[in-house]
Amino acid sequence: NSIFVSIHFNATNDDPNATGFEIFSFTPLGAPSTSDGAVAPSSLSTQPGTAVDAQSVALSACIYHSMLGHIPEFDRGIKRARFAVLRLTRVPAVLVEGGFLTERGESQLIAKKDWRVKLAQAIGAGVENYVALGVKKQPPMLVADYRRQNKSPPVEFVAPEADSSLLDLLGDSVALSPSPTPAETPLPAPQQQPPQLPGSLESAVIVP
């Protein structure tokens, strides 16, 4: 029983202020992709799905709620797409976008190892919830559930003013601008500290 989790970082030439997380699963049979405009029903019926469409959608929800529950990033949503990396798999598969390299503040967060470890642990917690859903029929945790379990509100890493090595690599080829304040959801009263996951997940493929 395997799954496929492809971990990426985003970039855009259209909006240098774009920030936040998003996650994609393969567009199910008969459904439009998130980016589709007006699509004729007849064309939707010709687009192939996969045998694991439902599992991929469930996996994306489990991981995404954990990411937002652990890290207060802007919510860009759970989306559908026909990316080749998702289309060519035969197991439940998702593509994670963990922030924008083209936004100055967010790129500085991504350059921090401790922030990447925190992101990997959040993805891992989401995978554990997906496994619990399949094996124990246990309903997966939602964003609010994760935040209620936190002893204190999620810590937002503050990027330093100094340029990081990642920004040096990007050079002048990317337009950078001051980071806007990301939107945050008010946090409910804290209760207890969730268990820490061992190690970090640096691989693009996660197999429970």
Q: Is residue 161 part of a domain?
A: no
The predicted model gives 54-77 an average pLDDT of 95
Mean of pLDDT values over 84-97: 95
Whole-number pLDDT of residue 208:
42
| pLDDT(48) > 50 | yes
Query: For residue 38, what pLDDT is reported?
Result: 65
| Positive/negative CA dihedral, 54, 56, 62, 65 | negative
Distance of CA 63 to the CA centre of its chain: 7
More confident residue, 185 or 71: 71
The reported pLDDT for the residue numbered 207 is 42
**75-81 and 4-10: which strand pairing?**
unpaired
Lowest mean pLDDT among 6-10, 30-34, 51-55, 150-154: 150-154
Task: Determine contact, residues 90/50, Cβ cutoff 8 Å.
Answer: yes
Residue 70 reports pLDDT greater than 50: yes
Q: Is residue 160 part of a domain?
A: no
**pTM of the entire structure?**
0.69
Tens digit of each residue's pLDDT (9 = 90 or more) over 110-150: 999 999 999 999 999 999 999 999 999 999 999 999 988 87
- CA dist 104 to 114, 127, 134, 160, 166, Å? 18, 30, 39, 10, 10
**pLDDT tier, 153 (very low <50, low <70, confident <90, very high otherwise):** low
Given a cut of 90, whether residue 174 has pLDDT beyond it is no
Contact of 121 with 201, CB cutoff 8 Å? yes
Average pLDDT estimate for 80-85: 93
Residue percentage of the chain with pLDDT more than 90: 58
Q: What is the domain range of residue 79?
A: 4-30+48-154
Task: List the CATH number of the domain containing 102.
Answer: 3.40.630.40
Q: Is there a domain that residue 99 lies in? A: yes
Residue 190 lies in a domain: no
Q: Cα(52)–Cα(54) distance, rounded to whole angstroms?
A: 6
Predicted pLDDT of residue 45? 67
Q: Give me the percent of the chain exceeding a pLDDT of 70.
A: 68
If one counts the domains in the chain, the total is: 1
> Which residues have CB under 8 Å from 76's CB, separation 6+?
20, 21, 22, 97
Give alpha helix (H) positions in the chain.
41-44, 53-70, 84-87, 104-110, 113-136, 143-149, 165-170
Question: Does residue 80 fall inside a structural domain?
Answer: yes
Q: Is residue 81 part of a domain?
A: yes
As given in the structure block, the two tokens for residue 107 are 């790129």
Please give the pLDDT value at position 121.
97
Mean pLDDT of the region 86-104: 96
Q: Out of 51-65, 164-178, 194-208, give the one with best mean pLDDT.
A: 51-65
pLDDT at 42: 62
- Report yes or no on 192 lying in a domain: no
Q: Is the dihedral of CA 61, 62, 68, 71 positive or negative?
A: negative
Structure confidence at residue 71 (pLDDT): 94
Cα separation values, 1 from 6, 10, 86, 96, Å: 17, 29, 17, 20
CA nearest to 96, candidates 182, 197, 10, 184: 10
